[in-house]
Amino acid sequence: MAQISGFSKLSKEEKINWLAKNYFSNPQKASETLQLYWNKDKKLQRLHDEFTENTLSNYYLPFGVAPNFNINNKIYAIPMAIEESSVIAAASNAAKFWQKRGGFKAEVLNTNKVGQVHFNYSGDPKKLTDFFEEIQAKLFEATKPITKNMEKRGGGILSIDLVDKTDALANYFQLHCQFETLDAMGANFINSCLEQIAESFINLAANFFTADEMPEIIMSILSNYVPDCLVKAEVSCPIEDLADDKNEAEKFAEKFVEAIKIATIEPYRAVTHNKGIMNGIDSVVLATGNDFRAVEAGVHAYAARNGQYQSLTQAKIDNGVFKFWIEIPLALGTVGGLTSLHPLVKLALEMLRKPSAKELMQIVAVAGLAQNFAAVKSLVTTGIQEGHMKMHLMNILNQFEATNTERSKVIEHFKANTVSHSAVVDILEQLRNG
């Protein structure tokens, strides 16, 4: 394939022309497709272009909503950005189910975030400890120009600790720092603080250690593992409220709890189980302009915190009451980044009544719990495919460019028949062959 020098300096049109010519069998169609997704509003398009580098076009995802969520006795319509069929429908069904049974309860357990300065030191560990104790307060002081505004709002650096990790890696130490960033996700704030701490640490070390003893900074970076930034969401009701028939309700509760236990002890099931939870969580995180990759990484690390990958949700039957809950780490923000730039993110946050970061944590956790409830409910009753494939039907019809008449007839047919890709193809062929 062709290579190019100075690609980033080309205009967007020049980038597209070069790519279309060198990487596509139909250059004109490729160019037209990319330009088809440009915003007609040039100011809005420039805003999107500047979100990242070498932009060619916009990649659209459906922006939908799951209404009727009763969370802590407040009703929410939750925005969700996702391309997968049945996710929003499942969340909406779970919201409707639990609205009649007391709704969702959610609480933030903690909001501490973490960053670390990683360094090597081969000298006397006691001398390093003595040095750190002497300069710890100076490290806080050195970050004041960065933290003063955050501190006025009640946030800032909560702690700076020296951690000896030499049992795992020779000469490896770290400054382990905890932060409170309030309504900001805080990545830039945390990283700026860490770099200042590292610089001050080395400058102060020059007066304490010989040249041979000097610590060497490796890197300074926040962590997306936030086990102390936790939120809990739960639902509960008497078992008999789960279904009209008492025996059916009891059987459902028992099978549901057993399904959660399986996802707790069987990693193969746990991964798919948690992926379903993240369908709900990621879609709200993305719609509200937060970093879903960071959330994913932190959540899956948390799922393996006990040495084995496990279910993020738990369920039990307690004195005739069915209880289902999730406890999950979520580092989210409602100010800064895309929250003040992307027009749809602004609308999403307004739809949620402009929540604080803590409120958004609760909403997102509830979305994950609702998604999981809907999935497990389907698995232990009708099976997952019946509902999923009916929602997937429109994708198959679009793939085969079905006409409006064909759509109507196919949809009517599958109201009483099982949807599969081959079955849809068969029906379309029958219609088209008369």
End residue of a domain, out of 197, 223, 249: 223
369 shares its domain with 309: yes
Whether 158 shows a pLDDT value over 70: the answer reads yes
- Of 291, 342, 358, 377, the catalytic one is 291
Tell whether 234 and 371 lie within a shared domain.
yes
Same structural domain, 98 and 235: yes
The answer to whether residues 288 and 303 belong to one domain is yes
Catalytic residue among 273, 342, 358, 388: 388
Residue in 275, 412, 421, 426 annotated catalytic: 275
Rounded Cα distance, 424 and 311, in Å: 35
* Residue ending a domain, choose from 195, 223, 251: 223
Kindly state whether residues 242 and 217 are assigned to the same domain: no
What local confidence, expressed as pLDDT, does residue 39 receive?
Answer: 94
Whether 213 and 127 have beta carbons less than 8 Å apart is answered as yes
Q: In whole angstroms, what is the distance from residue 202 CA to residue 132 CA?
A: 11
pLDDT in tens, 344-391: 999 999 999 999 999 999 999 999 999 999 999 999 997 655 555 656
Active site residue 167: no
Would residue 183 show up in a list of annotated catalytic residues for this protein?
no
Percentage of residues in the chain having pLDDT higher than 70: 97
Q: Does 100 lie in the same domain as 33? A: no
Whether the pLDDT of residue 59 is over 70: the answer is yes
Domain boundary among 194, 223, 252: 223
CA distances from 168 to 85, 121, 164, 192, 318 (A): 45, 14, 9, 27, 43
Give alpha helix (H) positions in 26-158.
Answer: 27-36, 42-49, 87-99, 125-142, 144-152
CATH of the domain at 78: 3.90.770.10
Kindly state whether residue 177 falls inside one of the protein's structural domains: yes
Residue 58 lies in a domain: no
Say how far residue 81 (Cα) sits from the centre of its chain.
11
What is the average pLDDT score of the chain? 94
In our burial notation (b when 16+ CB lie closer than 10 A, e otherwise), range 361-398 reads bbbbbbbbbbbbbbbbbbebeeebeebbbbbbbeebbe
- For residue 54, is it within any domain? no
125 domain residue, yes or no: yes
CB atoms within 10 A of CB 188: 13
pLDDT over 90, % of the chain: 85
Distance from C-alpha of 326 to C-alpha of 312, rounded to nearest angstrom: 6
Q: What's the CATH number where 195 sits?
A: 3.30.70.420
Does 393 or 288 have the greater pLDDT score? 288
Q: Is 291 a catalytic residue?
A: yes
57 in any annotated domain? no
pLDDT at res. 385: 56
**218: in domain:** yes
Any domain includes 322: yes
Examine the pLDDT at 393 and tell me if it is beyond 80. no
Q: Are residues 184 and 272 in the same domain?
A: no
Q: 307 and 162: one domain?
A: no
Q: Is the pLDDT of residue 303 over 70?
A: yes
Residues 20 and 164 in one domain: no
Q: Where are the alpha helices (DSSP H) in 100-206?
A: 125-142, 144-152, 187-205
Asked whether residue 56 is assigned to any structural domain, the reply reads no
pTM for this entry = 0.89
Dihedral sign for Cα atoms in the order 346, 350, 355, 356: positive
The strand ranges marked E within 239-343 are 313-318, 321-329
- The whole domain housing 410 covers 387-432
Q: Does the structure show a pLDDT above 90 at 337? A: no
CA pair distance 350, 298, nearest whole angstrom: 27
Spatial contact of 393 and 411, defined as CB atoms under 8 Å apart:
yes
- Residue 204: count of CB within 10 angstroms of its CB: 17
pLDDT tens per residue, range 250-266: 999 999 999 999 999 99
pLDDT at 404 over 90: no
Please state the rounded mean pLDDT for residues 18-26.
95
What are the Cα distances from residue 155, in Å, to 111, 125, 158, 159, 181? Answer: 10, 32, 8, 12, 5
Return the sign of the alpha-carbon dihedral for residues 404, 409, 410, 412.
positive
Concerning whether 130 is annotated as a catalytic residue, the answer is: no
The tally of domains found in the chain comes to 4
Whether residue 161 is found in the same domain as residue 97: no
Q: Are residues 243 and 308 in the same domain?
A: yes
Which residue in the list 84, 228, 266, 296 is annotated as catalytic? 84
Residues 151 and 217 placed together within one structural domain of the fold: yes
